A and B are shown apart, each in its own frame.
Chain A
Amino acid sequence: MYDLVTGPLAWLAFSVFFIGICVRVIWYIRGLDWKLDRVTYTVNVSYGIRGALRSIFFWLFPFGTRSWRNNPFLTLLVFAFHIGILVTPVFLLAHNVLLMERWGFRFWSMPEGASDFLTILVLVSAVFLVLRRIALPEVRIITTAYDYLLLLIAVMPFVTGLAAHYQWGSYDSWLIWHILSGEVMLVAIPFTKLSHFVGFFLSRAQLGMDFGVKRGGMKGRGLVW
């Protein structure tokens, strides 16, 4: 089983992930239409790029935009959650040991205490994100089972990883579940809302270009996000 999930299934998952997000990006860009979207993507390009970068940049920082500042609690949750999800798997010691073993290279890895902390941070933020969905009427009304499923897909690798690391019960089976759940997440990214992995940048860039080229970016000092 271990050989299966770390062999063919891993290859499959990573392939689907990489090809899937490439297809996403290509499909998105090819689907942009200057006349329908009413943005001259290929004219006034410098204004477009400036608008796109501003639009991405300010939103990448906690409290970088008015909307983040208006929602401080959610902002902390969202950033803690995403930083944990993105940083932990790449710089985890165990992953890098594996990487070295298999492919002969590795990234810097963080101390185990830090990865434990980030993992707990992901799980705690996820709990609060769920509570927020239940507690706030304006979020509850737009929440569907699908939203919970995605959250589950995103946190399962962390739950199982933590369980494997601390060897709660059988290490071997937790490890299998951990790898499987990671593969599920990778495969889910291109096919679900998790595609905001690239969609965030594409969509932000598009609206940034809209404001940068058409909606005022060529007059005045640009939009204050």
Chain B
Amino acid sequence: MPEGTLCNKLPINTKEELLTLLADKSGKKYYEEMNSLEVNVPALKALLDKTCKSRTRTWLEICSHCGMCADSCFFYLANHKDPRQVPSYKIQTTLGEMVRKNGNVDNAFMQMVMDTAWGKCTCCNRCGMYCPFGIDMGVMFSYLRGICFSQGFVPWEMKIGSGMHRVYRAQMDVTSEDWVDTCEWMAEENEEDWPGLQIPVDKENADIIYTVNAREPKHYPEDVAHAAILFHLAGENWTVPSQGWEETSLAMFAGDWEGCRLQVQGVYDAMERLKPKRMVVTECGHAYRATVIEGPYWAGLKSGKTPVPSFHYVEWVAEALRTGKLKIDPSKKIKEPVTYQDSCNYIRNAGLKDCAREIMSYIAEDFREMLPNKEHNFCCGGGGGLNGIGRYREQRNIGLKVKRDQILATGAKLVITPCHNCWDAIRDMEEVYHIGIRWSFLKPLLLQMVVVPDHLKPEE
């Protein structure tokens, strides 16, 4: 069975394999090898038998081909209503066909499936809300990604991402030591301005265990500092774990379910080890989705819940503002029109829309809702890993148009984006379309407007 040296059915499990794959710039050789990757039909059949059960088969079967999902999909709208972008069409021609053929498919078919599952769907799950039968094509595309992964038909960056989680338990090459060093560095860097500021590592029985997205220690360490300062100002008894600190899951985007399990297990182990009262995760949508919403299932937790109650950063901020742990200086509230990007992963797929509105009521004088909004909001255009995949950059950029027009219609020039993927997509949108907007996480904005109690101010 022909397998490439880079493009094959085996997941990345060592640093060496990871480096070799990374060295193949843009996956040039990787995608060449994919052209001769053979489909393991018996394995595919067996996988379908084992995992494609009544829910999915019923979804595929009873779809009435009514087309009501069409307008729910931002890709369909952004591509001038190209009927090939209708969610039902996309899933029926991929997973539907695969199931009808009972896995008897070839290389060209699998590449088409891959290009559809990653390049034409961000698994935002919006279509599921618009189907009269409740057929969630986002869920099916996620499942399909898992099938593609098992057969080696996975975009280069996704294979790398999954490998990162397997090797580093993080989406980037950030080791435990790197992480702890970053925490120490950020605490030192800021202790002069914020006397008493600490980033406690591995403290047991804290009220809050704080976890992040590896991009923060890797590229935006000030974000870790901002989180620390806000916890400090709120008087929280908090800690970060030295291991199990990363909540994101490119493995989820890649469809590497074993990688997903390994990743969340580390976080849950940290919860068990340090026994915090609760967990708070940074401003990242898919991190919350992966570790809090889906993770318990990967880890086999029958309650469907994380070992300790888990909260997205917006939940903590809403609570801190509500209880007065953080107070906003009224003169420093955002005066200009400002809008909020509802992230699919923690709003539509986790129900946190009210937290976002509550926060905005404290910090903004002229909050403008996008339309549609809350659980009906459109994906930013870069979710589901799409931001990171070079092969589909053009499709991604076209898809951004829907969000662009939504933002422009609000008249706001500032977009609050408490989600790394949304933040990236909207940054790239400005780069591509030059519409004159700014975008920000909550933390830096809060820091500018929060009241600093006298006893926490630096001595003059």
Please report A residues at the B interface, Cβ cutoff 8 Å. 27-40, 43-44, 55, 59, 66-68, 70-71, 74, 78, 133, 136-144, 147, 193, 195-196, 199-200, 202-204, 206-208, 210-211, 213-225
Contact = CB atoms under 8 A, between A and B. Distances in A.
Contacts of B374: 224
A29 B54 CA distance: 8
B67 A138 contact: yes
Majority DSSP secondary structure for residues of B touching A:
helix
23 contacts: A30-B54, A36-B51, A37-B55, A40-B302, A43-B303, A43-B304, A55-B134, A66-B376, A67-B72, A67-B130, A141-B83, A141-B86, A147-B65, A199-B62, A199-B133, A200-B132, A200-B133, A207-B134, A214-B294, A216-B350, A216-B352, A219-B351, A222-B351
Given A196-B64, A220-B352, A203 B86 contact: no
A40 B304 contact: yes
Given A28-B58, A199-B58, A223-B375, A216 B349 contact: yes
Given A31-B55, A140-B83, A207 B351 contact: no
B5 to A, nearest CB: 33
A188 B372 CA distance: 40
Nearest to A202: B58
B129 A220 contact: no
B133 A142 contact: no
Contacts, number: 157
A65 to B, nearest CB: 8
Nearest to A196: B62
A142 B302 contact: no
Given A200-B132, A206-B134, A207-B136, A142 B55 contact: no
Contacts of B65: 133, 139, 142-144, 147
B303 A40 contact: yes
Interface string B296-325: 010010111000000000010000000000
A84 B293 CA distance: 42
Contacts of A141: 83-84, 86, 89
B61 interface: yes
- B interface bracket (residues with beta carbon within 8 Å of A): 35 or more
B168 interface: no
Interface string B25-39: 000000000000000
Residue with the greatest number of chain B CB neighbours at <10 A, chosen from A66, A141, A195, A206: A141
B351 A220 contact: yes
A43 B350 contact: no
Contacts of A220: 351-354
Contacts of A37: 53, 55
Contact of B294 (A31, A38, A44, A71): A38
A142 B92 contact: yes
B53 A32 contact: yes
Contacts of A215: 293, 348-351
A138 B53 contact: no
A27 B53 CA distance: 10
Given A35-B297, A206-B134, A219-B351, A28 B70 contact: no
A218 B352 CA distance: 10
Contacts of B302: 34, 40, 43
The 7 closest A-B pairs by CB, nearest first: A216-B351, A31-B54, A207-B134, A40-B304, A220-B351, A139-B67, A141-B83
B70 A138 contact: yes
B427 interface: no
A13 B349 CA distance: 43
B354 A74 contact: no
Nearest to A27: B54
B61 A138 contact: no
B54 A138 contact: no
Given A193-B61, A224-B374, A204 B134 contact: yes
B4 interface: no
Nearest to A39: B304
A221 B354 CA distance: 9
B88 interface: yes
Contacts of B304: 34, 39-40, 43-44, 213-214
Interface string B366-398: 000000101110000000000000000000000
Interface string B330-362: 000000000000000000111111100000000
A37 B53 CA distance: 9
A33 B134 contact: no
B412 to A, nearest CB: 23
B55 to A, nearest CB: 5
B109 to A, nearest CB: 19
